[in-house]
Amino acid sequence: MRLLFLGDIVGKTGRTAVWNRLPGLISDLKLDFVVVNGENAAGGFGITEDIFLETINAGADVVTTGNHVWDQKEAVAFAGRHDQFLRPANYPQGTPGRGSGLFYARNGARVLVANVMGRVFMHPELDDPFKSAEAILDACPLKEQADAIIFDFHAEATSEKQCFGHFVDGRASLVVGTHTHVPTADHQILNGGTAYMSDAGMCGDYDSSLGMDKEEPLNRFISKMPKGRMEAATGPATVCGVAVEISDATGLAEKIAPLRLGPRLAETLPTFWR
């Protein structure tokens, strides 16, 4: 099974790049399943229902989020209407929407996708992500109820991300970090067979500060005083993510490679699919 995960979409330039690129990637790489983190797709803060639907129409099978999930007020209303829209699973019971779901890939495989948020340096501080993951895995074990399992671990601290990867190693197909908007170089297959990457990076303008126009963040670091609102950068976007090949027999990873398409960062495609 061929899986692709794309990191946090930031603003109009990021979402447009994903919408334009994704159909061709699905066709050219013969992808079976695609997950996209869309939590910053609406002007850099949250996501609207229209943007969510357009991302699904472009070929995403699931859209995950994170700490900015409720930045657009309409998300509270539409979260419960769409199974393919996930918010962090470790929000308290009764929170709108869902944190995980079982979906069918293009090859007919059952894919469990779970969105979990870390707690170190993160706000709001949610329930224990490790306990949440354990409950999700207990309810839908790999190769019993699911042929593949993907965790989007939305967190700030790399140490927390790495420990989460080791915690589910051998029980999940892929753990990929989001939130920090910078692609890491540690894509690997852990000892138990779980593919791991600390951060997939963002789909946005890299001539920026984490996808935001760099002038206001720079001003705040220098002056300690805001001059205006943070705005998403509008230059050409780079699409960043990670591609994984999963064994049909075990549900564990066999190959992993980063994907980067666009200006500024060195372009790379998974060569094992060429």
3-state class of 272 per DSSP?
helix
Residues annotated within the binding site for Fe cation are 8, 39-40, 67, 154, 179, 181
8 A C-beta contact, residue 254 and residue 245: yes
Separation in Å, CA 212 to CA 125, 141, 200, 206: 24, 39, 17, 9
Query: Active-site positions?
Result: 68
Positions at the binding site: 8, 39-40, 67, 154, 179, 181
CATH number of the domain located at residue range(s) 2-205+236-261 in this protein: 3.60.21.10
Q: At 76, which amino acid appears?
A: V
pTM of the model: 0.98
**pLDDT at residue 11 in the model:** 98
Residue 4 in tokens:
């692709």
Residue by residue, pLDDT tens for the chain (274 residues) are: 999 999 999 999 999 999 999 999 999 999 999 999 999 999 999 999 999 999 999 999 999 999 999 999 999 999 999 999 999 999 999 999 999 999 999 999 999 999 999 999 999 999 999 999 999 999 999 999 999 999 999 999 999 999 999 999 999 999 999 999 999 999 999 999 999 999 999 999 999 999 999 999 999 999 999 999 999 999 999 999 999 999 999 999 999 999 999 999 999 999 887 6
pLDDT at 193 (0 to 100): 98
Closest C-alpha among 162, 192, 159, 157 to residue 175: 162
Q: Cis omega (within 30 of 0) on the bond before 124?
A: yes
Domain boundaries of the chain, sorted by first residue: 2-205+236-261
